[in-house]
Structure 1
Amino acid sequence: MLHQALPGPCAFCLGTSAPGASWCGPCYRALAWNRYGCRVCGEPLRRAPALCRHCRDVAPAFSRAQVPLVYEGAVRQLVQDFKFQASPRAGMLLAELFVSALGPAEAQALLPVPLHPARARQRGFNQSRWLADELGAQLGLPVLEATRRVDTPSQRALSRSERFANLADAFTVASPLSGRIALVDDVMTTGATLNALAHAARRAGACEVVVYAVARTSLAAT
């Protein structure tokens, strides 16, 4: 069970944390790391380097996804605490885990997945924006804004193709973009939401779009 003890002892076992970290070495290594993700969308695979069948068939609008963890076990619990209970401790730990696994900081700005205004009023919390703000502070990157102009139905019961159709033209970016933009979300499932936002970022002028997400749900489980 996850113990929310950030900062201080290991956030997972309450043992002695590694110097300068919020976890101990054994707990960090035991997390569900996405070691063999598709080199474009990050879908967990059995070997690397490889492309998943979806990226082989149709390339997404983003060029690469950095998704270091798999949505299971302690990672799943952390995300749920963050997303549904608005736990800042869980959010901080997710951001720290992401940064600890991030390769060279290739993004020049961050663009979080927005909520529709009606959904934002209902939930009172946008976990993607919170995460982007924290990552922006840690990485020294500006956080930009997009608008979700369509309050799309829930994606949970939809097939992959239905999810992509459900989100077509759902987002707009009012301010002109340039350079390499990283889209930010907590969990990536089919990639439909991030693909739609990537299209909007490209229409606004982004030269390249990448994805920063903390965890990936295996498509085999969706």
Structure 2
Amino acid sequence: MDWRTQWRQLQRYFIELLKRSVPNRCIACHQSVDSGGSGICSVCLQAGLYQTPVCLGCGASMTELIRYCGQCQLSMPIKIIAPCSYHQGLGRWIAAIKYQRQFAVLEALTNALHQKIIQLANEDLLSMPQAIIPVPLHPKRQRKRGFNQAWLVAKPLSQQLGLPLLDTHLLRVQATKEQAGLDGKQRRQNLHGAFTLTQPLNVQRVAIVDDVVTTGTTVAEIAKLLARQGISSQVWCLARAEAPELL
């Protein structure tokens, strides 16, 4: 059994374990949640989600549900689909997934992301991909952390949407520094050549899945790699950290 198969089995076990460990009180307001709830109540969840349509390019608030704001229509950047802003309400709990192994909001936000994807597809604002690719961790970092938060988002989405999960096709070959705290130039330098494909992909459209998109450097690096194979990409994430001037 190779290490990739072992990691998939371990992560499946990890999903079942975290489902059993979600608290029965809301992580934000500490009120009880319904039996079988997600660890965050519906009131706190809804308060943290986007209240207006946002541009799929930059994340700016808009008055109507369209793909891009006027500025992004000029450049047509990669589409980023997220149910909420990292800076407004739920960001601290999303960070806790990765850094504190606190999974209270994971299921609820993954479901909110699923609903956002379906809404945009029904409005013909995005084309559904043919497969899902989680952003990989370097094997050393994954062994240290014990899980890949992007995979934990991608796995239930693949099941809900009936899309293949291509979790062995993309490999992180460089043990890069954490992106947090780096500026845009440093992020690009840090990730240059960090990813490679282990085998050809027989698809034309994929969704790259991550927990949070900040500057978009990581997903842009992967999208460029896929574009060289004639594959177009969109990005799905639990939250996006917009530029300060857009908040």
**TM-score after normalising by structure 2:** 0.71
Q: Percent identity?
A: 32
Match of 1:161 in 2: 185
Query: The residue matched to 1:97 in structure 2 has which SS?
Result: helix
Is 1:38 the equivalent of 2:55?
A: yes
Name the counterpart of 2:207.
182
Alpha-carbon separation, structure 1, partners of 2:177 and 2:113: 29
Higher helix residue share: 2
Secondary structure of 2:236's counterpart equals strand
What one-letter code is carried by the residue in structure 2 that aligns with 1:214?
A: L
Runs of at least 5 residues in structure 1 that lack an aligned partner in the other structure: none
How much has 1:148 moved relative to structure 2? 0.7
**Equivalence for 2:10:** none
Helix, strand or coil at the partner of 2:235 = strand
- Could you tell me whether the CA contact under 8 Å between 1:110 and 1:184 is conserved in 2? yes
Q: Distance in 1 between matches of 2:101 and 2:114?
A: 20
The alpha-carbon deviation at position 202 of structure 1 amounts to 2.2
- For 1:128 and 1:161, the matched residues in 2 are separated by 24
Q: Is the 8 A contact 2:24 2:32 kept in 1?
A: no
3-state SS of 1:68 partner: coil
Equivalent residue, structure 1, for 2:97: 82
Partner residue of 1:173 out of 183, 197, 204? 197
Q: Which residue is 2:156 aligned to?
A: 134
Tell me the residue number matched to 1:121. 143
Deviation of the 1:166 alpha carbon: 2.2
What RMSD, in angstroms, separates the aligned Cα atoms of the two structures? 3.2
Contact 1:174 1:204 in 2 (8 A): no
Q: Distance in 2 between matches of 1:9 and 1:119?
A: 31
In the aligned structure 2, how far is the partner of 1:113 from the partner of 1:134? 15
1:88, CA displacement in angstroms?
4.2
**TM-score, scaled to structure 1:** 0.78
Q: 8 Å contact 1:35–1:44 — kept in the other structure?
A: no
